[in-house]
Chains A and B, each alone.
Chain A
């Protein structure tokens, strides 16, 4: 077991990658065997993630140096700096790993039925597993160049998956927009990395953080990285691709795209808190992130309430929820250099944002799965053409209600638990931000009242009288999300203590991150 945990970080990336390339071969022999291999493989990966999480929480940061005589040997003998590819997994990395593990497993379970009958399923699962491997890589990597590589893997596989149903013109358009936006963001990230590399001759995040001078070039690299990752996570005003893409992709892929966007949020925070840390103009950069967050919240929710396409409505709500996280992280970053403020409310704001990341993945994921279930049965996403579906799709209606209440931040659901952490801590930084947040939550409730009313209530429309509930595997996938939402809602203290607080502590502890790499000189 100890050996398994020692190599777990690389296995978590390598196993999906290996299965991705085995899938077409197994699929040629048997579809059932292919599906079983994908499910068992991702279950094994999820097991490794939880084992690694336990290890990181108990024993501190986990490093894995590829090609070294020992995985923990970060700096080769005779060298003064890390050269090899290093995975550095701390509390926040492993937290993101848990998000990716849960969501990818649910996405595959849902795909078993929702993608049934589609051609090219071997390629579908190959691309899906590539995206999962890319997302794990983004959150586990300890160096910037590999962050770019994994970002590219998620972008390319993501674009192909968005456009997977090629018979729909809007799917192709969504895929095209995704690859353009992702390519621009990735190349700008690469440019920013080259600016840092040109100055410091380093790519490792810990080593770069130790050497960071915050020169003019560093400032330029910073704004490029902020803008690129903010675009990838759908921050306003760079959010417009998100609704075009999320709404047309197969919903199991949309759920994964949410985690990829959150991996970009993670990358943004890793750069802000660890790579630059206290060398930053903290208040200024913090307020830039807060401004993007507030715009995302307000414009996201006001655009959502106007939509009549249920998936576009949820997609705009994703923009809005990302805003809450950005505000929490922004406040944490703005007070990073002020120990009193950081201790009083800064860490709570960061905890709220981190907790909201997993909650967001769960309830938005559930809402997208419900939207997919509706489309699966009635073949439309248009709310104007729906009505009375709650009579025949009772489970689906209940799941939508659960996701909607959680997203709107109503007690006792998980969305409330994370939002209250954000509200109360952000209030101490600037009360206006909290007031905007509460207003946005109220409009969010209005958004989902509209969607629920239009789709599920009223007399059942004659054309939908014979509609049945979706297949059991789709129900099972939604049930997994629903159960976790309820558990997280009822026991938020446990979740905060077990996985959120360690993630927060890791994010504000730049010294430990650096020392784990630089302190291991033989």
Chain B
């Protein structure tokens, strides 16, 4: 009974990985325990703003899903403009893509037959 998924010239054994992970976690915990224990709940050090600024409510603090990776989408704006334009939501277009894939595949196979 093997625990190894062999993939030709490498192998993957999750049990070894888990043991290694556990050892690393123990080492991390060891260093963490050696830290200074000054943290106290309910004091100024646990406040979000030390200056006394009022903390906004949860609704205002939450970063919305649509705002995540804003920079990524700005950088790839041209790609996204193009790719989103193709996703029309119109079922006729879906069938057109199907016909296009069939036609391109047929042309490729035809060329291969003629050349071969």
Contacts and interface: CB of A to CB of B under 8 A. Distances in A.
A197 interface: no
Interface stretch (B14-22, B24-32, B33-41): B14-22
Sorted from nearest, which 9 A-B pairs have the closest CB atoms?
Answer: A383-B65, A454-B65, A459-B58, A412-B14, A492-B5, A223-B105, A387-B62, A227-B102, A424-B7
B58 A491 contact: no
A450 interface: yes
Interface in B89-114: 89, 91, 93-95, 97-98, 100-102, 105-106, 108-110, 112-113
Given A281-B109, A384-B64, A459-B58, A306 B98 contact: no
B14 A181 contact: no
B61 to A, nearest CB: 6
B3 A493 contact: yes
Nearest to B59: A461
Interface string A277-300: 000010011001000100000010
B63 interface: yes
B59 A462 contact: yes
Nearest to B2: A493
A238 B65 contact: no
Contact of B100 (A230, A237, A382, A494): A237
Contacts of A184: 95, 98
A216 B98 CA distance: 21
Contacts of A308: 65-66
Given A180-B95, A222-B109, A421-B5, A387 B58 contact: yes
Contact of A411 (B2, B14, B101, B109): B14
B1 to A, nearest CB: 7
A461 B58 contact: yes
A204 B73 CA distance: 50
Interface string A245-264: 00000000000000000000
A299 B83 CA distance: 8
B83 A450 contact: no
Interface in A374-423: 382-384, 386-388, 411-412, 416-417, 420-421, 423
A184 B98 CA distance: 9
A324 interface: no
Contact of A462 (B4, B57, B91, B93): B57
Most B CB contacts (10 A, CB to CB) among A382, A416, A424 go to A424
A177 B91 contact: yes
A224 B103 CA distance: 9
Contacts of A302: 76, 79-80, 83
B112 A281 contact: yes
Contact of B17 (A241, A412, A459, A493): A412
